[in-house]
Amino acid sequence: MSQDKDKSKDDQPDAGRVPAQQPVEAADSGSAENAQAAMERERNDLLSRLQRLSADYLNYQKRVQRDIDSAREFANEQLIKELLPVLDDMERALEAGRANHAADDPVLAGMQLMHDKALETLGRYGLKVIEAKGKPFNPEVHQAIMMQPTAEQPPQTVLAEALRGYELRGRTIRPAGVVVAVAPNDAPADEEK
């Protein structure tokens, strides 16, 4: 049992004993400098990662704000797109009315007032008519539905507008359907064949 007591004393640490300190050697100063340099590299790495993360977060906030602003700006786009065929029908009715009735016809005048009021109301929400006739063809706002040879206009000029185009706050929501001028065939030999 005395051996058990000796073993148990060996297993328990001495509370009053102070561990002996190792002598400091010159090699330890080199490893301390290496450790300090490693810690500085790690700090610099963490700092640069934090800066990148902070910049990414700021960019994310700006992008989200732009998306919110865009959603607010174009919130009515779908409704306006669905009203465009109504405007087209009003314009066709006005053309037919002008062809079949006198200019001072009150029904024709009333239809014109309704059409103008509808365009004015939609204009307050950012809708604009794309002017096409006589302008150079621009594929961003025009859709060529037909090419017509002519010598009266330079090539790639819009001769006529078949379908009116519209833009909403600078964004084309429906391109204008247009007839585009092309150079006439200069070779009469083709016609003879």
CATH code for the domain in which residue 140 is found: 2.30.22.10
Greater confidence (101 vs 40) lies with 40
146 and 168 in a single domain? The answer is yes
Q: What's the rounded Cα separation, in Å, for the pair 8 and 95? A: 112
148 in any annotated domain: yes
179 and 146 in a single domain? The answer is yes
Q: What is residue 184's predicted lDDT score, i.e. its pLDDT?
A: 83
2 in any annotated domain: no
148 and 180 in a single domain? The answer is yes
9 in any annotated domain: no
pLDDT, tens digit, 9 for 90 and up, residues 106-123: 989 999 999 999 999 999
Domains: count for the chain: 3
158 in any annotated domain: yes
8 A C-beta contact, residue 142 and residue 175? yes
Closest CA to 126 of 80, 78, 69: 80
Q: Determine the structural domain holding residue 158 and report its residue range.
A: 128-185
Average pLDDT for residues 81-102, to the nearest whole number? 92
Cα angle: 6, vertex 8, 14; to 5 degrees: 95
8 A C-beta contact, residue 164 and residue 91? yes
pLDDT, tens digit, 9 for 90 and up, residues 136-180: 999 999 999 999 998 888 889 999 999 999 999 889 999 999 999
pLDDT, tens digit, 9 for 90 and up, residues 7-41: 555 555 555 555 555 544 545 667 888 999 999 99
Q: What's the rounded Cα separation, in Å, for the pair 38 and 26? A: 19
Q: Average pLDDT of the chain? A: 83
Confidence band (pLDDT; 50, 70, 90) for 187? very low
119 and 135 in a single domain? The answer is no
26 in any annotated domain: no
Greater confidence (58 vs 6) lies with 58
98 and 132 in a single domain? The answer is no
